[in-house]
Amino acid sequence: MSNTALPGRTGQTPPAEPTADRREAVARLFSTVDESVAELGERFAAAGYELALVGGPVRDALLGREVHDLDLTTDAVPQRILELVDGWADAVWTVGIDFGTVGLRRKGVQLEVTTYRSESYSPKSRKPEVDYGTSLDEDLVRRDFTVNAMAVRLPSREFADPFGGLDDLRAGRLRTPGLPEDSFSDDPLRIMRGVRFAAQLGFELAPEVREAASAMADRLKIVSAERIRDELTKLMVSPAPRLGVELMVDLGIAPYVLPEVPKMRLEIDEHHRHKDVYEHSLTVLDQAIDLERSRGMEPDLVLRLAALMHDVGKPKTRAFESGGRVTFHHHEVVGASMSKSRLSALRFPKDVVNDVSTLVALHLRFHGYGKGEWTDSAVRRYARDAGHLLERLHVLTRADCTTRNRRKAAALARAYDDIERRIGRLAEEEELNSIRPDLDGNEIQRILGIKPGPLVGKAYRYMLELRLENGPMEKEAAEAALRDWAREQGIGEES
């Protein structure tokens, strides 16, 4: 489904404003969802149960956004849901049944059916307590925001909007169905969800929602790291993650999610002037997203996290020198360690943690390139150290240029164009992404007459350095170089 921009929301591409006429809204909704939902509604009604399409799919369909999986709610308890879909669904899964949810698939369409419910946290609990409800309105009042508290009853197609979600959708506003304090007390993760929806949809938080989110931010401490991670992930791959990050910082939410980010707001005094690291990092994030799009890349969580966190090591490494000069020596090393610790604490997958921290560690490497003075061996090492992250490193390094000096910015762009061309040429000649020594471990053992062990690894690393320095070698030359190295090391065939 194509999207058209809502006026007045820069950086977003939601579709045309939805009409206030409910019948037209329902017609628009059902033009985008699979007919299977109506069929399922008939099945539940015949058994004397209610069923309604609810939440995100309703919101997205009314916004003209593409609808994928479908969420439904019912007064049937989970065991009864299983009985009702038996023989109708092509596949059923019950991983969420403890929370009242049954997943199913019908003709390639994925649906989740959840018993009317409410969730709440006890003051020190990290897991919500789930209670089943008995009515649709009771279920909707417990939803996070009014734009997610709209439903369409099935099979009648009656539109249910008891809290004015359609009006809020049209206004681009996030309100809670009841008091925001009650909503955030029931589930503190909704504070993060509000920030995420602001970035994802380009909506504004209503004043009372902002106030409650700020006042209750510390309640996020009881939410599991995994749930916070999931919301942060959705925020970071949204159309406008900067908006979400700024909201987290301005409302005092960031200290419970990414405390390193607000700490980058370093004070600048008249004697020690330097760029505001926080604002610089947000600009780098914006520029990385622009480059992402121009290069035809999909929203990249690893790249965006690296762009946001590439300078988190600066506050810890800031030093003042004579003449008012400010330095941040080795901030990339410190920042890589900090990024790794934070993302690990948020339970990000190990590959994401390692990739982000590697990009942070490497983001300054290019600045030694100058006007192209690097040898081919230095370019090989740059590409090899980046490995599968090379394209992301290209984007991050380019995005890290936020100077207003046009001449300096142009010179940096030309230098990076040059290194990318050189990497491309060397890659064609030498398959840079899979550089290996000219001799493998078995050949090293045979030539030197040694057994497997640390010595083989030492020889292998020497041959790899030789390969990076000189490029490909003929087999005889490689063997001769290995023997010369072995003699210098006092290694003979008798070893």
Cβ count near 288 (within 10 Å): 26
Q: How far apart are CA 323 and CA 276, in angstroms?
A: 19
Q: Could you give the CA distance from residue 209 to residue 147 in angstroms, rounded to a whole number?
A: 14
Per the DSSP assignment, residues forming a β-bridge with 106 are 109
Q: What is the pLDDT at residue 182? A: 92
Q: What contacts 398, CB < 8 A, 6 or more positions away?
A: 287, 291, 413, 416
Query: Does the N-terminal peptide bond of residue 155 adopt cis geometry, omega within 30 degrees of 0?
Result: yes
Cis before residue 7, ω within 30 degrees of 0? no
Entry pTM = 0.78
Handedness of CA 339, 344, 347, 353 (dihedral sign): positive
Q: Averaged in consecutive runs of 10 residues, what is the pLDDT profile of the chain (495 residues)?
A: 33 40 68 78 95 92 83 95 95 91 91 83 61 88 94 91 93 95 93 96 96 97 96 96 97 97 71 69 96 93 97 89 79 95 98 97 84 80 87 93 84 87 77 67 86 84 79 84 86 54
Instruction: Report pLDDT for 434.
Output: 54
User: What distance in Å separates the CA atoms of residue 471 and residue 432, rounded to the nearest whole number?
Assistant: 10
How confident is the model at residue 440, as a pLDDT? Answer: 83
Rg (CA), the chain: 28
Q: How far is CA 382 from CA 304, 336, 365, 459, in A?
A: 21, 17, 8, 22
CA angle 418, 419, 421 (to 5 degrees): 65
Q: What is the pLDDT of residue 292?
A: 95
| Domains, the chain, with CATH or none | 1-170 (3.30.460.10), 179-257 (1.10.110.30), 275-434 (1.10.3210), 441-488 (no CATH)
**Quick one: which H or E segment has residue 229?**
helix 225-236
Handedness of CA 426, 428, 431, 433 (dihedral sign): positive
What are residue 204's phi and psi, to 5 degrees?
A: -105, 145
Give pLDDT, residue 8.
32
- What pLDDT score was predicted for residue 129? 64
Looking at residue 271, what is its pLDDT?
A: 39
Alpha-carbon distance of 315 to 280, in angstroms, equals 13
Q: Which of these, 439, 294, 304, lies nearest to 359 by C-alpha position?
A: 304
Is the Cα dihedral 294, 295, 301, 307 positive or negative?
Answer: negative
